[in-house]
């Protein structure tokens, strides 16, 4: 089997594609893969590090206001289609899958024009612009949230979940918290603002440090490199707090998540897939700096099911964050109910379901 995957811009677009590649490698070791992205996107770093062959094309997104840049965008899109057709003809894939981001547009569209089976995957509850455009051309559409179905042709849509969920679902508990000088046997809250951190969450955590002094639970906070020194300085001015650990970045996130009792952070599609697969309750602070406010809609899909509580970014303070955490950690029954609701929303066999679409198209 020869599989071409494309998706870029954010990890939320890249990791589902990588997950599918890893899954197919296990089932069909003889398969060959090619990932098409852009040189400027995160995919240019992440994908080669995963050992997946990578090629790039040049593309950019449309501006939301009238702009001469949009003329350049159309020009690059047309050139991108031509470049994608050459890559596709050279690689001769059996199937092409796109996972979102501007680069998917010309690549998946080119595959359609070359009569190659195509699939797109939408990770968010609100469909992205590129996936909406491609919907009329592709053969199948996998979605991670049921709410996204309304944006696509009914006969093409299948609820599959996010492939990242299946990768973390089987993670076993361990004493990894001791690597962070925390007690593996103590109730733990994980707080993070994404790999780069988040300013508002950092500010709230800095404010919350005095309020965390006498809590019966411990806290692991991934601040992001940019904010690490600021929070460390705030912690240095307080009495010793061995139950609060701040690190710039958390490696092996799934191994940490499976050993905590509550997560607090942004509502990106990959994060939600990870912690719902593990059945974790959450305090969600959606980023306001995303297209169509899709993180709020992602979060509300869990809030409405009783799996999470939400705090608006603009309203976030240290006191509100700690109160939300306390409300869950101090009530074991509520925490258990939220965990059960979270697990019901996690689709632990997501990659199996997405792969089934591949098999259907290749049958």
Question: Binding site, residues?
Answer: 10-12, 124, 195, 250, 295
Pick the closest to residue 355 from 114, 166, 145 (CA basis).
166
Which residues make beta-bridge pairs with 157? 141
| Listed residue (38, 47, 33, 30) closest to 77, CA to CA | 38
Say how far apart CA 146 and CA 267 lie, in whole Å: 16
Please answer whether residues 359 and 27 qualify as being in contact, where contact means their C-beta atoms are separated by less than 8 angstroms.
no
Q: Give 16-59 as a DSSP string.
A: HHHHHHHHHHHH-TT-EEEEEE-SSSTHHHHHHHTT--EEE---
Asked whether 19 and 99 are in contact (CB, 8 A), the reply is: no
Find the farthest-apart pair of alpha carbons in the chain and give their distance in angstroms, rounded.
Answer: 66
Annotated binding site for UDP-N-acetyl-alpha-D-glucosamine: 10-12, 124, 195, 250, 295
């Amino acid at each position: 089997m020869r599989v071409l995957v494309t998706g870029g811009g954010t990890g939320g677009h890249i990791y589902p594609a990588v997950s599918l590649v890893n899954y197919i490698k296990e089932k069909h070791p003889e398969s060959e893969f090619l990932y098409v992205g852009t040189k400027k996107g995160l995919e240019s770093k992440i994908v080669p590090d995963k050992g997946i062959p990578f090629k790039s094309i040049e593309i950019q997104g449309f501006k939301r206001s009238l702009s001469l840049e949009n003329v350049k965008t159309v020009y690059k899109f047309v050139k991108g289609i031509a470049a994608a057709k050459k890559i596709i003809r050279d690689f001769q894939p059996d199937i092409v899958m796109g996972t979102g981001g501007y680069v998917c547009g010309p690549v998946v569209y080119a595959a359609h024009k070359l009569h190659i089976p195509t699939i797109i995957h939408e990770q968010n509850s609100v469909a992205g612009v590129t996936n909406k455009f491609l919907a009329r051309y592709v053969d199948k559409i996998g979605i991670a949230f049921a709410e996204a179905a309304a944006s696509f042709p009914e006969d093409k849509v299948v609820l599959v979940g996010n492939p990242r969920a299946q990768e973390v679902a089987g993670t076993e508990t361990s004493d990894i918290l001791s690597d962070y000088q925390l007690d593996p046997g103590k109730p733990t809250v994980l707080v993070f603002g994404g790999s780069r951190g988040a300013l508002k969450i950092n500010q709230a955590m800095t404010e919350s440090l005095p309020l965390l002094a006498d809590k019966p639970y411990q806290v692991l906070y991934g601040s992001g490199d940019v904010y690490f020194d600021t929070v460390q300085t705030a912690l240095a001015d307080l009495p010793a707090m061995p139950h609060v650990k701040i690190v710039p970045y958390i490696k092996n996130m799934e191994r940490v998540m499976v050993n905590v009792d509550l997560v607090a952070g942004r509502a990106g599609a990959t994060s939600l897939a990870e912690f719902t697969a593990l059945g974790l309750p959450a305090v969600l602070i959606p980023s306001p700096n995303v297209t169509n406010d899709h993180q709020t809609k992602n979060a509300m899909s869990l809030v409405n099911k009783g799996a999470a509580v939400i705090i608006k970014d603009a309203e976030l303070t240290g006191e509100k964050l700690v109160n939300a955490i306390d409300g869950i950690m101090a009530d074991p029954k509520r925490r258990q109910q939220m965990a059960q609701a979270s697990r019901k929303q996690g689709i632990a066999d997501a990659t199996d379901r997405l792969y089934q679409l591949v098999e259907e198209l290749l049958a």
